[in-house]
Amino acid sequence: MSINEISANKSFEGWHKQFTHSSSVLNCEMRFAVYLPPQMEQGKKVPVLYWLSGLTCTDENFMQKAGAHRMAAELGMMIVAPDTSPRGDDVADDDGYDLGKGAGFYVNATQEPWSKHYQMYDYVTRELPQIIEGNFSVSDKKAIAGHSMGGHGALMIALRNPEMFVSASAFSPIVNPMNCPWGQKAFTAYLGDDKDEWQQYDSCYLLQQAEQKTPMLISQGQADQFLVEQLKTEALEAIAHEKSAPVTIERHDGYDHSYYFIASFIEQHLKFHAEYLS
Q: Could you confirm whether 257 is annotated as catalytic?
A: yes
Out of 85, 219, 224, 273, pick the active-site residue.
224
Q: How far apart are CA 233 and CA 249, in angstroms?
A: 9
Out of 53, 148, 167, 203, pick the active-site residue.
148
Q: What do you get for the CA distance between the two ends of the chain, in Å?
A: 28
Contacts of 167 (CB under 8 A, 6+ apart): 143, 144, 158, 214, 215, 216, 217, 272, 273, 275, 276, 277
Out of 117, 257, 269, 273, pick the active-site residue.
257
φ and ψ of 145, to 5 deg: -150, 165
Q: Which residues pair with 17 in a beta bridge?
A: 8, 34
Q: Could you confirm whether 269 is annotated as catalytic?
A: no
φ and ψ of 60, to 5 deg: -85, -30
Q: How far apart are CA 159 and CA 153, in angstroms?
A: 10
- H runs (alpha helix) in the chain: 60-65, 69-75, 120-122, 128-135, 149-160, 181-191, 195-199, 203-209, 233-243, 259-277
Q: Could you confirm whether 256 is annotated as catalytic?
A: no
Q: Which residues pair with 100 in a beta bridge?
A: 103
Q: Give catalytic residue positions.
A: 148, 224, 257
